[in-house]
Amino acid sequence: MTFAPPVQHHVFPNGLTAIAIENPAADIVAARIFIKAGSLWEARSKAGLANLVAAVMTKGTERLSSMEIAERVESIGASLGTDASTDYFLVSLKSVSHDFVDLLSLAGELLRSPAFPESEVELERSLMLQGIRSQREQPFSLGFDQLRQVLYGPEHPYAFSPLGTETTTGQLTPADLQAFHQTYFQPDRVTIAVSGCLSTQEALKAIEAVFGDWQVSDQVIVEPQFPPLPNTIEQRAIAQETQQAIVMLGYGAASVLGTDSTATEQQHHPDYAALKLASTYLGNGLSSRLFVELREKRGLAYEVSALYPTRLGPSHFVVYMGTAPQNVPEAITGLQSEVERLIHHPIEAAELTAAKNKLLGQYALGKQTNAQLAQLYGWYEVLGLGREFDRTFQTAIAQVSAQDIQTVADRYFAAPHMVLTGPAAAVEPALLVTP
């Protein structure tokens, strides 16, 4: 029988949401602090801002220097870090239970009063610019950047790398970081999930002690808008003299949320579970359809996979392959035919069962540690799904039928966008002969 730790949900008077998970299996407490302040909320002219805020937030507060912060964390063997994704900003922390309240207090100071020292901003901005340049040398990163652009179009916030561009990131200033922080870092935009060797009441008491007096400001917040996706199919070839070529096919796909008339707020999109299973079946692991058919049987692929990320807004379904340049036309045909096969041929019962077992097994293994529990429950909350999604997701996966997968395949996989990266002689002619 699976152990289900006690979980308590609480909203404080200032709007901050807390989730406390009691799990005394080890003397460890982990927390994840989610803020609605990811790259979705950046102006396009300041792309990369959320990531720079994350990089500099641990480098000083109004009271503590970067070195003092590092010493406080390392002296107790704890961990504390920040990150920014598209849909949220994240602070991660972990310590033994005895030190957790002090560590949470330090995290609260970082969140509420970061200093953004100019020297640290310059250093981290320089490192981000190096990362942007490095990505241009990596065939997968280069191809995926282009695929995002053709999938979403020029005005969509998902069309851009969270790192920004050399132009936008290079122009960011400490004042930009301060303005972003003052606008979006508000208690009613924060979800804190704590999991570990604390009672739920002790965890909530600790959160209240650190964040209970944090007041919402009068800043006007403009929530991001998702413009319509392009209705034309686009293909691009990016010449890069590498030893292998990357073939990517991309399809627009459903948000995790029900964003149209098919579902209401706090429900997942009715196509979400079937798309997750289709991704698992096609491209998850050594037993996946793409791996077996295109790598093992036909020897086309150095690597091959599928992905369908969970997104607040419209997501994407991508299949990709790394292959020898001379195999590009055959790789395109192979990938497209395997995806389109889902439209025309129902998955066999044994294949569907295997995909469900794989997905649900991996999901269960992703809830073994306090850090994983805090991440999962906090993530669901900040996405608007609520803590009950842990149960409803598993139920939805179990109920997906072969017909459900065929239906979503027909709905989303009719015509792919395509991006090819590799030697010009291999990728440019391939576009000309592809239907």
Question: Where do the DSSP E strands lie in 85-234?
Answer: 89-96, 190-196
Closest to 19 (Cα-Cα) out of 382, 430, 395: 382
Q: What is the pLDDT of residue 258?
A: 77
Q: What is the pLDDT of residue 321?
A: 97
Residue with tokens 């195999």: 327
Dist. CA 207–CA 16, nearest whole Å: 10
pLDDT digits (tens, 9 = 90+) for 361-379: 999 999 999 999 999 999 9
pTM for the model: 0.93
Q: What is the pLDDT of residue 222?
A: 84
pLDDT digits (tens, 9 = 90+) for 35-91: 999 999 999 899 999 999 999 999 999 999 999 999 999 999 999 999 999 999 999
In sequence order, which residues have a C-beta less than 8 Å from that of residue 98 and are 6 or more positions away?
Answer: 27
Q: What is the pLDDT of residue 424?
A: 93
State the burial class of residue 398 (Cβ atoms within 10 Å of its Cβ: 0-12, 13-18, 19+). Answer: exposed
Mean pLDDT, range 228-252, rounded to an integer? 93
Q: What is the pLDDT of residue 259?
A: 53
- Mean pLDDT, the chain, as a whole number? 93
Please report, for residues 244, 304, 322, 350, 384, the alpha-carbon distance to residue 291 in angstroms, rounded to integers and kept in the order given.
Answer: 17, 6, 12, 18, 34
In sequence order, which residues have a C-beta less than 8 Å from that of residue 359 and are 6 or more positions away?
Answer: 276, 277, 280, 284, 397
Please report, for residues 131, 161, 282, 315, the alpha-carbon distance to residue 419 in angstroms, rounded to integers and kept in the order given.
Answer: 22, 16, 19, 17
In the chain, pLDDT over 90 holds for what percent of residues? 86
State the DSSP string of 38-95: SGGGS-GGGTTHHHHHHHHHTTBBSS-BHHHHHHHHHTTT-EEEEEE-SS-EEEEEEE
Cβ–Cβ under 8 Å, residues 257 and 393: no
